Chain A
Amino acid sequence: MSRMDPMLAGGDSDMTTPLLSVKDLKMYYTVRQGEIKAVDGVSFSLDHGGSLGLVGESGCGKTSIAISLLRLLPDNAQIVSGHVWFDGMDLVSLPEDQMRQVRWDRISMVFQAAMNSLNPVYRVGDQIIEAMQTHWESITEAEARERVAELFDLVGLQPTFMDRYPHEFSGGMRQRAIIAMALSCDPDIIIADEPTTALDVIVQDRVLRKLEEIQKRLDMALIYISHDIAVIAEVSDRIGVMYAGHMAEIADSVDIFERSLHPYTHALIGAFPSIKGKKKELKTLPGEPPDLLDPPSGCRFHPRCPRALDICREEQPPLRDHGGGHLAACWNPMEVD
């Protein structure tokens, strides 16, 4: 009955290999009070040119996954076990000098507060050119400038702004410059961690549509991380719903909304107000997300779950395929009619 998703079988599979395959990844933070199991056995895969949205509330581990993939970990964090297969390499055990060639060049990332990471004393364009020249030694200054102009246009900034300083940019403009920088080396994968959260809705919409357009055109894969399931719905072909360090459910976007199996996914969607359609009644989810220093036994969602059974308190449910690549980790999934 329970069949592992072939996509999760690892890098040595004979099936069409996904671009990126994460297997049973565990990343813990060590703090004074103990160990925070921020990512605790997460598996997923990403196809060439695909887009995966990771959605969940603060502290569910979505950003921790992103920094684990690129091995940009703070001092108190470590990858305890698991694999990240990318192009025949396991990024978890890859030597740092080789990892440096993957980072930015092949997998780049837009951070949440990236707009504050521009150096204030250099022109914005020059900072992107410098990043490009570090990775593409053959590129000339003129080519690089031309590319920055193109990238600026792509993200909706006036190309002439490349000669301005960060303080002359608004927050939204800086964030778009950062996205341009992330695109500059033609990566295979972009990881975007809440890239539009600080932006106003019209600018956000513009950035999202640009990102989607660029992703389709360059056949680039995208991992989009957000707490906002509406934004995730717009940009992702597949959605992974995370809860307290676990992947609760992962499926094609429409399936997540039409046939969500995990009660948490169901609750998350039911709690999200929309301006479209009939004004549905929003449903409250009782309780609060757990303390990851001392997570609940069994399924971590069980204390808040309306469908919890005895087994949910005792045993952690595995991420099981319920058909058609729809995976859910639940002992008592929602019934689908």
Chain B
Amino acid sequence: MTGNGNEALIRVEHLEKRFPVSAGLFRKPKNFIHAVDDLNFEIPVGSSLGLVGESGCGKTTTGKLIVKLYEPTDGHIFLRDPDREGYTDVAGLRGSELKVFRRRVQMIFQDPYESLNPRRTIFDTVAEPLAVQGIGSVVDREEKVAHMLSLVGLVPAGTFMFRYPHELSGGQRQRVAIARALIVEPQFIVADEPTSMLDVSIRIGVMELMSELADHMGVSYLYITHDLAVARYMCQRIAVMYTGKIVELAESEELLSNPLHPYSRALISAVPVPDPRLSRDVIEIKGGISKPIDPPPRCRFFTRCPLADKECETSDHPPLVDRGNNHFVACYKV
């Protein structure tokens, strides 16, 4: 599978999510958006995967499926269970098993202004997962929250605990969101554009914090971002998504220096370079992303692809195949 040899922490198999397209108030929907379509990947223990792509490519849907904010239409998500040597299928979890899952897998959202409840103090927000999980007494929780706040750089923790979100800056709020996700000591965190709303000088601090905590607490991330440069710094591997499909997956440096899929090549060539001395080759592709509403079975990139030919038109969407060096590409032409 598309891992790198280490034991998988999470394994996604044939994951699919379809959303009905509304046909009117009393009509049964006939069409479906194939938001996530036959996704297969693994994230090894202690490694992070960057999921990149343009808006509407299905990256956020994938993240929400993994944390069970959405139920998949089809396919499986297996999470490694440290208590027994094996994997749990996330799809079937109910009751107490679901509660255990919620402790193991957490999510950090993009907008630190919207993801924190304005009427709750920082302490309430960060301690909530502990209360839900029934971890520790109230006194223990205070100690734990204080420890966590100092870990995320909100020091001295005592001065932050009983403040409200509006008293904090964007960077500080995102640190609170990170503290809330980490307080239950999860194995795995889905981070959906956690730094894209932050200013440059603040952003690096939050990125560094997330990397340090990953090492320190043994957490892996699925790092969802539109920014390839951020993914390069945060993740060992990067997967490029296009309209519900992973089209390429490789080690970050390999993917950025040697992209194989025509879409990845175009995407990478379009990233502005913060240096006027460096020029970049522009790879032009036609058209724009359209919603994958009941797409034909052929390659999703067909209509925009400069390499497309008869084979691409008549065959199914190409499978993700290893081209050596754990560099996976879904294309017939490379």
Contact = CB atoms under 8 A, between A and B. Distances in A.
Contacts of B273: 230, 233-234, 274-276
Given A204-B270, A274-B275, A284-B205, A227 B288 contact: no
A3 interface: no
Interface of A: 57-58, 170, 172-173, 200-206, 208-209, 227-231, 233-234, 253-254, 257-258, 267-269, 271-277, 279, 282-285, 288-289
Nearest to B201: A285
A317 to B, nearest CB: 20
Given A201-B226, A209-B282, A279-B233, A229 B271 contact: no
A243 B268 CA distance: 30
Contacts of B270: 201-202, 204-206
B232 A201 contact: no
Interface string B275-289: 111101010010011
Contacts of B228: 201, 275
Interface string B17-61: 000000000000000000000000000000000000011000000
Interface in B200-242: 200-205, 207-208, 226-230, 232-233
A238 to B, nearest CB: 11
Contacts of A204: 270, 272
Contacts of A272: 200, 229, 274
Nearest to A228: B272
B272 A230 contact: yes
Contact of A202 (B169, B199, B266, B274): B266
Given A203-B288, A275-B229, A275-B271, A288 B171 contact: yes
Contacts of A275: 228-229, 232, 256, 268, 271, 273
B44 to A, nearest CB: 21
Contact of B233 (A202, A254, A282): A282
B319 to A, nearest CB: 25
Contact of B276 (A173, A227, A233): A233
B204 A283 contact: yes
* Most chain A CB inside 10 Å of its own CB: which residue of B232, B274, B275, B278: B274
A288 B169 contact: yes
B201 A267 contact: yes
A58 B199 contact: yes
Contact of A205 (B202, B205, B282, B288): B282
B271 A227 contact: no
Given A200-B54, A275-B232, A284-B208, 5 more contacts: A230-B274, A253-B276, A271-B201, A273-B204, A282-B204
27 contacts: A170-B288, A200-B54, A201-B54, A201-B228, A202-B54, A202-B266, A202-B270, A203-B288, A205-B271, A208-B272, A227-B200, A230-B271, A233-B272, A253-B276, A268-B201, A269-B274, A273-B230, A273-B232, A274-B229, A274-B274, A277-B275, A279-B232, A279-B253, A282-B207, A288-B201, A289-B199, A289-B201
A285 B54 contact: no
A313 B271 CA distance: 39
A215 to B, nearest CB: 16
A267 B199 CA distance: 13
A288 B198 CA distance: 11
A35 B289 CA distance: 45
Given A209-B282, A233-B273, A285-B201, A273 B288 contact: no
B66 interface: no
A276 B199 contact: no
A300 B160 CA distance: 25
B267 interface: yes
Contact of B226 (A200, A227, A288): A200
A233 B204 contact: no
Contacts of A233: 272-276
Contacts of B200: 57, 227, 229, 268, 271-272
Please name the 5 residue pairs, one residue from A and one from B, whose CB atoms are nearest each other, closest first.
Answer: A205-B270, A230-B274, A273-B229, A200-B54, A285-B201
B304 to A, nearest CB: 10
A206 B287 CA distance: 11
A275 B200 CA distance: 16
Contacts of B232: 273, 275, 279
A175 to B, nearest CB: 12
Contacts of A230: 229, 271-274
Given A172-B288, A205-B272, A205-B282, A273 B233 contact: yes
A253 B207 CA distance: 27
B50 to A, nearest CB: 12
Contacts of A277: 275, 278
Contacts of B204: 271, 273, 282-285
A20 to B, nearest CB: 22
B278 to A, nearest CB: 6
Contacts of B268: 275
A137 B274 CA distance: 43
B93 to A, nearest CB: 35
Contacts of A231: 272
Nearest to A172: B288
A257 B199 contact: no
B288 A258 contact: no
B169 A271 contact: no
A288 B171 CA distance: 9
Given A233-B273, A254-B277, A57 B288 contact: no
